[in-house]
Structure 1
Amino acid sequence: MEAGAPEDLVGAAVEQAGRAYAPYSRFRVGAAVRTSDGRVYGGCNVENSSYGLTVCAERTAVFKAVSEGSRGVVEVAVYAADSDEPVPPCGACLQVLSEFARGDPRVYMISRTGRIRVARLSQLLPMAFRLGGETG
């Protein structure tokens, strides 16, 4: 693992991948976000036979944080349980992360083989849509 990758955040993402409901893609993903109050929220992907209703792990984690009263995402971990390569969040997830980001969070992308890729949110989504002021 890359030095500085937060073990608690990575561990939460790995744990969440075990809860994924992915009978269609068979691509299990777990994610965890740390908010500015130091709390960690995890989420997994939840698929649906009507594919448009599927929710990714990253959005699940953010929505859990917001529904519990936390905002200001400061770190993100994404664990792809069925990939030998680290995978980034999809465009929809990047936009949601941007909506609730505090600053320019690091995004740790982890593969099942333990490979880690690290990027700043702004590198993954350089021209994020912003309607108004800061929400994170």
Structure 2
Amino acid sequence: MNCIFCVAAVETRDHIFFECTVASSLWSALFSLNGLQFKHHSWDAFFDLAAACWKGKSPLTTIMKIASNALIYTIWKERNKRLFQSQSSTVAEMFIAIKELIADKKEDPKERARLGLHSKQNRKGRHFFSIALNA
């Protein structure tokens, strides 16, 4: 079966999650939000890199773990939506969905506490999250 996104290659795990132009666009956008560069990886190489580099509970490590899972989930969900429901989203819509998943995870009070995120109110009455670096 060809890739449901680009139709340019056979759908493999490496292709759909890393090599496809849709996937690589999402990874690049996600990494650039965090000041990082994404290089096309295979599934195994990416998770070897993640296991070696994203250790501990630093805010960047935690966000990248959540964000990577959100991206993989979004790609798989979009694949199934296109395949089984004949509906599709743009790459921009998919990226918004990823950011919403990350925000939802940070909105959960237990998850915020685990991540060391604390809600505060600024002078204009708007809530924002600060990161407790000792968490």
* TM-score normalised by L of structure 2: 0.29
Which fold has the larger relative contact order, with Cα–Cα distance below 8 Å and residues 6 or more apart in sequence?
1
Radius of gyration: which is bigger? Answer: 2
The structure with the largest strand share of the pair is 1
* TM-score normalised by L of structure 1: 0.29
